């Protein structure tokens, strides 16, 4: 599939089946993240992949509890509701079957391109997942989630270098239900200057 078509048709998915994501696919998704553009060629992003559903759910509940869920009536998506749309959703990772945590060096967190390095890593992973038929959703609140004492302990038991800051999560799995259509794009968002 041509890249622009992929970019136009991929959607964020928050309703997942119980089907596990194959390890081979997760390895390719992680590899795509490692080849993302990165600030100063520093290859600073680190990826933690979790395949344990119970662990993902536990972290997802902590994650959901970090969100101010009152957005004054603003909706995210009716077809694929977020924790903002549906207050009965208790798991901020939507019962996904695989989870990636993208981390960046703490020393780069406040640098101009530090966070950008993490986001380009995530975008590469999202697109590789879509190419492989794996659905995904980027979720924030990583910094708040890992401030919770139980999460700090867990992070240390994983053996992650303490100089890395969790930045974002990528929920992965297979869609439950119909694939949503794209919303119309807002007009007048590109300006060409000669």
Q: At what angle do helices 114-131 and 23-34 cross, to 10 degrees?
A: 140
Q: How far apart are CA 183 and CA 51, in angstroms?
A: 31
Dig out the tokens for 50 from the structure: 């979790």
Domains of the chain: 3-69+78-173 (3.40.109.10)
Please name the residue ranges forming H helices in the chain: 3-9, 23-34, 53-64, 114-131, 142-145, 149-157
Distances (CA, A) of 165 to 40, 50, 144: 18, 17, 11
Q: What is the pLDDT of residues 60-84, one digit of tens each?
A: 999 999 877 776 777 778 888 888 8
Report the length, in residues, of the chain.
194
Considering the chain, what is the average pLDDT of its residues?
A: 91
Q: What is the pLDDT of residues 5-57, one digit of tens each?
A: 999 999 999 999 999 999 999 999 999 999 998 877 777 889 999 999 999 99
What's the whole-model pTM score?
A: 0.93
Q: How far apart are CA 140 and CA 119, in angstroms?
A: 11
């Amino acid at each position: 599939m041509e890249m622009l078509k992929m970019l136009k048709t991929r959607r964020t998915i928050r309703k997942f089946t119980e089907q596990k994501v194959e390890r081979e696919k997760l390895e390719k998704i992680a590899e795509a993240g490692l080849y993302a553009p990165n600030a100063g060629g520093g290859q600073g992003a680190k990826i933690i992949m979790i395949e344990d559903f119970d662990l993902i759910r536990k972290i997802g509940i902590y994650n959901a509890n970090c969100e101010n869920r009152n957005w004054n009536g603003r909706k995210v998506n009716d077809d694929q509701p977020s924790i903002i749309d549906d207050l009965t959703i208790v798991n901020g990772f939507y019962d996904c079957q695989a989870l990636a945590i993208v981390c960046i060096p703490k020393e780069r967190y406040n640098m101009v391109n530090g966070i950008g390095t993490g986001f380009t890593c995530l975008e590469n992973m999202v697109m590789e997942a879509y190419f492989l038929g794996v659905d995904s959703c980027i979720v924030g609140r990583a910094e708040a989630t890992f401030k919770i004492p139980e999460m700090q302990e867990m992070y240390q038991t994983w053996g992650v270098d303490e100089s890395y800051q969790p930045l974002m999560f990528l929920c992965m799995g297979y869609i439950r239900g119909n694939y949503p259509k794209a919303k119309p794009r807002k007009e007048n968002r590109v300006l060409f200057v000669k």
